[in-house]
Structure formats: structure tokens, C-alpha cells
Copies of this chain bind each other. A is one copy, B any other.
Amino acid sequence: MADAERKLTNSATRIDFQTDPSRYRHWKLETDGEVATLVMDVDEKGALFEGYDLKLNSYDLGVDIELADAMERLRFEHPQVRVVLLRSGKARVFCAGANIRMLAGASHAHKVNFCKFTNETRNGIEDASQTSGLKTICVINGTAAGGGYELALAADHIMLVDDGSAAVSLPELPLLAVLPGTGGLTRVTDKRKVRRDHADVFCTTEEGIKGKRAVDWRLVDEVVPNSKLEETIGRRVQEFAARSGRPAGGHGIKLDPLKRVRSDQGAAYSSVSVELVRAERLAVVTLRGPDGPAPQSADRMIEQGAAFWPLRLARELDDAILDIRVNEFDTAAIVFKSSGDPEHVLAYDAFLEANKDHWLVREIRALWKRTLKRIDLTSRSLVALVEPGSCFAGTLAELVLAADRSYMLIGAREGNNARAAAIALAEANFGAYPMSNGLSRLASRFLADPADLAKAEAERGKLLDAEAAERLGLVTFALDDIDWDEVRVFLEERASFSADGLTGLEANLRFGGPETMESKIFARLTAWQNWIFQRPNAVGEEGALRRYGTGQKPKFDTKRV
């Protein structure tokens, strides 16, 4: 069945997003001054699930987790690197794309989440270029098919070897009856601005396009004969390095392994805890504020390294969200809570703001931006509960703004002397963390009237009680202790609704206002792909995805819907 779950290899019970270069099976990462070389050399026998081999540099989620990790490490551990050379370790093959047997056997839920993560990783490559000046040059030495070409599309510059056989292609439609699901169509039309009829020919031509036509049609930036390849690469590296604003001689910080203790009921990190309330289909994610004041200087921050609270918290939160996404499909809602002193959080935010041009602060904020975007794109209902003792201030207030709904308690709780709940906004809430639509969460929230945004801005730095926060439109409902039971009723009702209906509803309501290439990838392209991933022509017993490689031709329902 298309919906049968594959088994993870080595008797693993969860997919783990944490890795490090010493454990990579599929990539080699080498740095040399301002250049890093990231070589894709997929271990055929290193599949994440049982039942398929990763031939021809094809990939599954496990391969992509290593790629995402490598990009993070380049950003934090190697700030001196200005150019990443993305290459293949296999002769005459760059990358054959997502592994088809993996796709054919994966559940719909895994396929969708696999595509979501690979999309986020490619967006991350582009963010590294835009935010950090870390440029990527992709060298295609042979076949770059499907997801292989889509990976290249995330680069700043695509070089194709001109040897009469190396070609780029998006053969998903003719071969598998699905779409290129990792941003390919959107990047072809909106990033590389390939003419729409050329794009039509390209996407329906199984063998792809090579040589001069690939350049004429804007599919690659240049074709280079093998004899001049290394020399040309050298030149391009110099050119792109010259455009990078990364700090010469910057010293990186080590991304130490996360402190994480997992139990059947959830996970405990240093500043995040996840409580899986399975009976109610909830994941309660609690963020803890800093224990003390912000460091006195950027040097002190560097000394703290990966232990620096904003960085540590972002990495832990990111891991927690990814884990829920692919390992806890039955979770209906993620409930965000926090504990700590909002003044301390504001102090950290002030520190980040004062040092915003420091390379490490830039990276930490970019990581928060990506993590928050990941939350926006997570197909679980998002709820923020702002209770006494919480610290939803500045950067942490973004979680309240990312929630589909938020509830805030008025005053104290009977028999509990924790200080009444307060929310505080900081500079960071007004542009440091844009959503995929290009707007801050506050600007997206107040599309109707910019005056509401100005009113919120005027209250920066103040501790706002529940009634003030409700008046400013920062929370959905302010409730007193007697009415707080409404939250329970709401969460129960939410869990009773159709999971699919909610996914579609939230994907629409969360992204009002403008669309960008990035938001189009997750809306137009992904939504159509999700549809196609349900259709018998792709995933049915006689569908193309199931019949690929069997020697049998797929049988299609010819109705155009």
C-alpha cells in the first residue's frame, strides 16, 4: 500500500535530526580558507528506511539531514568561508534526486514532510547567501535529475560540464506522474525566470537539456568543457568570494551536541521541554528564559559559544519541532508555554540588537528566523498559553504571534503567587524575523491598519498585562482564572476536527498578504504536489510511482480534473 510505513534501519524508532561531520555517511565537508567543498557521495547502503538502496547519489531524508547540518556548521563554525562548492563524488552523476523506491513505499505523511524539510534546507542555502554572504557554486559533472537539479537551483551559480552527456532535467512528470517537489518549478519560473513555454518543454522532457540550450534557456549559468573545469571553478570562486561580506579571519564557534534526554512522554533539553500528552493529542513545548543577565560583550558571547542562551534555545526548539513533525503524526496541536523573567529576555534581545552587525549575532538571528518559519509551516495547530511566570518577551513573543490562537491569563492564579503574565515587545519583533511572505509577524497580523502596528511599536519594552495585550491585539483572548477552562474546551474541540481540514485552513490563514518565491513554493507548488501525492495516477497500484522500475507501464485515469 502507498500508505504503508517503512521501517527505519537499525531498529531505530525515531528519525533523529542531530548529526555531525564525524558521523556523515553521505557528504564530505572540507574547508580551505574562504572556500568549503561539500561533496555529495551517497552511501548506497546508508538509507534511513529498510527496503531500498541509495543508488546514483539519490537521497532520502537521512541524506538531507546531513546536508542541513553541514550548512549550519558552515555558518557557525566556519565564518571565514565565503564560497561553498557543491560537487558530486561520483563519476558522471551529480545527483539522481529523491530516491524513487523510498517515495513509492513511504506513507503520504512521510512524503509530505520529507519534501517540506528538503525545501527548508534549500531555502536555507539561499538564506545563507542573502543573509550571511555565504555563496554556493554548484558544479554539475553529469546527470542532475529531479531533486538533483533542484538542489543545484538553490545555488547562486550553476556550472554544467559540457561533455555531450551531462544534463539537467526535471523528469518527475513524464517518469513518475508527480511534480518536482522541492521548489523546482517555482525556482525555474521565479528565480531563474525561464520562459514558461521553455519550462514546459524542459519539465516534460525526460532526458533533460544539455549544452548551449541549457544556458540559452537560463537553466544553468554556464557550460564548461572538462579541460577547463577546474580553472573556471577557481575563477568563479574568486568572483563570488569577492561579493561576500563574511568576516575575514572570523573564528567560529563549535556547535556542540544538544543536551537532550528523551522519554516516552517527551524530551528534556537544557532550555526546552516537550511534554507529549498523547491522550489529548497535544505536545506542550515549554521554553525557559535565561538564568541570568546577558553577556557584557560580544567576546563574552563568543566564549559561551553554543551555550549562549539564544543560540542554544533556537537549536533546541528547532530540534523539538522537527521531531514532532515527523515522529508524532498524531499530535493535533503544539501548545507553547514559557517560564522565566521577561526582563531577562528583553536584556538578551537588547544585547542582540546592540550587536546586530556581529557575524555571530547575525547567524543566531537568522537561525531564529528559520526556526520560526519552520513553526509557521508546521501542520499542527499552534497555540500559545501566556500564564503567570511566563516570559514571552521580544524574540519569544514571536511564538505568541506565530500561534493560530493565543490565550492570556488575567491576573494571578488562585493559590499561586507566580507573578501575573506579561508580554513585552522589542525591536526584534518589528523586522528581525520576517515570515516567508516577507513581512514581520506583527505586520502580517495588522495588515488591516498600519496604525495598529504603530501602536504596538509605541509600547516596546513595556511589560503588558493581559488586558493591555488584548487591547493592542497581541493575544486572541484574555481570560481570568474562572474562564480559563475555555482553553481546555478549545483544545478538545480542535483535536476533534479533521486533521486534513485543519492543515489546509491553517496553510491559508497563516499567510495573509503578499506572496514571495519562498511562500509560493510552500503554497502553490507544495499544495499541488500534496494533491498529486494522493492521486491514483501517481500512488495507486497501477500508478507511475509504484510501477517505476518494474518494467510495467503505469495505467492512467485520463480524466482532466
Q: Is the CB of A189 within 8 A of B508?
A: yes
Task: Please name the residue on chain B nearest to A535 by beta carbon.
Answer: B500
Per-residue CB proximity of A191-216 to B under 8 Å, as 1/0? 01111111111011000000000000
The residue from B497, B534, B544 contacting A535, defined by CB atoms under 8 A apart: B534
A524 near B: Cβ within 8 Å?
Answer: yes
Q: Is the CB of B499 within 8 A of A511?
A: no
The reply to whether B112 and A501 contact each other, CB–CB distance below 8 Å, is no
Interface string of A468-511 (1 = CB under 8 A from B): 00000100100000000000000001111111111111111111
Q: Could you tell me the distance between the alpha carbons of A491 and B379 in the complex, rounded to whole angstroms?
A: 39
A406 and B527 CA atoms in complex are apart in Å by: 28
Contact of A527 among B185, B503, B523, B544 (CB under 8 A): B523
Most chain B Cβ neighbours within 10 Å, of A199, A499, A504, A505:
A504
Contacts A502-B173, A512-B190, A523-B523 known; A497 to B445 CB distance under 8 Å?
Answer: no
Q: How far is the CA of A203 from the CA of B509 in the complex (A)?
A: 9
Cβ of A12 within 8 Å of any chain B Cβ, yes or no, is no
Which residues of A, 523-538, contact B by the 8 Å Cβ criterion?
Answer: 523-525, 527-532, 534-535, 537-538
Contact B497 A177 (CB under 8 A): yes
Q: How far is the CB of A219 from chain B (nearest CB, A)?
A: 12
Residues 103-123 (chain A) with a chain B CB within 8 angstroms: 108-109, 112-113
How close is A488's CB to chain B, nearest CB, in angstroms?
A: 16
Interface residues on A, range: 35 or more
**What is the count of identical protomers in the complex?**
2
Task: Say which residue of B332, B448, B561 sits within 8 Å of A530 (CB atoms).
Answer: B561
- Distance (Å) between the CB of A194 and the closest chain B CB? 7
In the complex, what distance in Å separates the CA atom of A317 from the CA atom of B447? 39
| Stretch from A37-45, A225-233, A552-560 at the B interface | A552-560
Do A528 and B527 touch across chains, with their CB atoms under 8 A apart? yes
By a CB distance below 8 angstroms, the chain B residues around A109 are 559-561
CA distance A500 to B176 in the complex (A): 11
Please give the distance in Å from A179's CB to the nearest CB on chain B.
Answer: 5
> Considering the complex, which residues of chain A in the window 245-300 have a beta carbon less than 8 Å from any beta carbon of chain B?
281
Q: With an 8 A cutoff between CB atoms, is A331 at the interface? A: yes
Please name the residue on chain B nearest to A380 by beta carbon: B560
* Residues in B whose Cβ lies below 8 Å from that of A520: 515, 523
Q: Report A198 CB to chain B, min CB distance, Å.
A: 7
With contacts A190-B512, A512-B190 taken as known, whether A559 is within 8 angstroms of B177 at the C-beta atoms is no
Alpha-carbon distance A203/B501, docked complex (angstroms) = 11
Q: How far is the CA of A301 from the CA of B51 in the complex (A)?
A: 71
The chain B residue sitting closest to A553, CB to CB, is B496
Task: Take A197-B405, A531-B530 as given contacts and tell me if A524 and B508 are in contact as well, using a CB distance cutoff of 8 Å.
Answer: yes
Does A223 sit at the interface, judged by CB under 8 A? no
Instruction: Give complex CA distance A201, B218 in Å.
Output: 46
Question: What is the CA–CA distance of A108 and B218 in the complex, to the nearest angstrom?
Answer: 38
Whether A127 is near chain B, meaning CB under 8 Å from some CB there, is no
A506, B203: Cα distance in complex, Å? 10
A444 interface contact, C-beta 8 A: yes
Given known contacts A498-B556, A534-B534, A508 and B523 CB-to-CB distance under 8 angstroms: no
Task: Name, among A204, A403, A496, the residue most crowded by chain B CB atoms within 10 Å (CB to CB).
Answer: A204
CA distance A496 to B506 in the complex (A): 36
A185 near B330: Cβ-Cβ < 8 Å: no
Residues of B near A193 (CB, < 8 A) are 447-449, 512
Asked, given contacts A197-B406, A201-B405, A530-B531, whether A560 binds B502 with beta carbons under 8 Å apart, the answer is yes
Q: What is the CA–CA distance of A561 and B534 in the complex, to the nearest angstrom?
A: 12
User: Which has the most chain B C-beta neighbours within 10 Å: A190, A495, A557, A558?
Assistant: A558
161-185 of chain A: CB within 8 A of chain B = 172-174, 177-179, 185
A245 vs B551: C-alpha distance in the bound complex, in angstroms? 65
B200 near A329 with CB under 8 A, answer no
What 7 A-B pairs have minimum CB-CB distances, sorted nearest first? Answer: A527-B527, A177-B498, A189-B512, A193-B448, A515-B515, A504-B528, A523-B524
Query: What are 22 sample pairs from A and B whose C-beta atoms fall under 8 A apart?
Result: A109-B561, A173-B501, A177-B498, A179-B501, A179-B505, A179-B508, A185-B509, A195-B446, A196-B445, A198-B476, A200-B476, A281-B558, A329-B561, A495-B558, A498-B544, A502-B560, A508-B524, A515-B515, A523-B523, A523-B524, A530-B561, A531-B534
A195-B445, A195-B473, A527-B530 are known; give 19 further A-B pairs, CB within 8 A: A109-B560, A179-B508, A196-B404, A197-B476, A199-B509, A201-B476, A281-B558, A330-B559, A498-B556, A499-B537, A499-B556, A500-B535, A503-B528, A504-B528, A504-B531, A507-B528, A508-B528, A515-B520, A531-B531
